[in-house]
Amino acid sequence: MSAEDKNEANEPGAEAEQPVEEPQQPETEQPAAEEAAPAEEAAPAQEPVAEAQADEPEELEEVEEVDETPRVKPEIPGADLEVDIVREDDYRESRWSEEGDEDEAEEAEDAEEAEPQPIADAAIDLAAGARYTATGKRKTAVARVILKPGTGQYLINGRSIEVFFPRHTLQRNIRQPLETVGYETRMDVVATMHGGGVSAQAGALRHGISRALIEADPNLRSELKRRGFLTRDARVKERKKAGLKKARKRPQFSKR
């Protein structure tokens, strides 16, 4: 500062000219007052909470006072548990007792449907001198069949069907065509067989009887064909191939 400025500052009138700064009040006073007011308002609201907290221990003490009977450990583990297992035999008996009648009825209906019904409109002339001939084949077996009025007897190479075909399955297959037509007790079968084995001869005889029935009544053709009696079974043994042991069996392969 220069000398002039110092002199002016030392003069008594200079101090009066300077403005006097008012002391600033701290800004925190008003918020403090505002905070005090909400605190007073919140105080009554906290009283019920404190009362509720004071009541909670009493309730807990009441729950704790209840004495539960301790579980006694059984001598055998799981002996106190209830058994919910049903034996298989009991389940089957209950099931059959409840649904036995329905199942039997359904099985009876299925058996009736499975059994082939005889052809009702068959009209075959059963005169005393009527003869119907045909030839049936299966594999290498050939059967020459003659149908004539009779009582349902089978004569094959001079022997009965029970002697020539001891197996019941083969006998049943042979009797199927006449049973389907409904003439199993009104016609006799006389056949001459040669070639093939027992099963092939039975198939050839059934094929020959079916074809003989067509000679007796051509109207039976559609029904017999639908049931598969007129179809020639073309299945035969497959021939041996060169380099193989049989039709498809190969010799054992050796790498070394």
Tens of pLDDT along 8-58?
Answer: 555 555 444 555 555 555 554 454 445 544 444 544 445 554 554 545 555
Do residues 162 and 175 make contact, with C-beta atoms less than 8 angstroms apart?
A: no
Tens of pLDDT along 104-125?
Answer: 667 666 655 555 677 766 788 8
Q: 178: which residues sit within 8 A by CB, 6+ positions away?
A: 152, 184, 187, 189, 209, 213
7: phi then psi, degrees, rounded to nearest 5: -65, -40
Give the pair of three-digit tokens for residue 66: 């209840």
Give the Cα separation of 94 and 36 in Å (integer): 82
At 156, is the pLDDT very low, low, confident or very high (cuts 50, 70, 90)? very high
Residue 182, class by beta-carbon neighbours within 10 Å (0-12 exposed, 13-18 middle, 19+ buried)? middle
Give the Cα separation of 113 and 23 in Å (integer): 119
Helix 198-216 vs helix 168-181: crossing angle, to nearest 10: 10
Domains along the chain?
132-226 (3.30.230.10)
184: phi then psi, degrees, rounded to nearest 5: -70, -20
pTM: 0.55
Tens of pLDDT along 213-254?
Answer: 999 999 999 999 999 999 999 999 999 999 999 999 999 999
pLDDT of residue 102: 65
Q: What is the C-alpha R_g of the chain?
A: 57
191 vs 102: which has the higher pLDDT: 191
Do residues 201 and 141 make contact, with C-beta atoms less than 8 angstroms apart?
A: yes
Helices (H), 66-187: 88-114, 161-164, 168-181
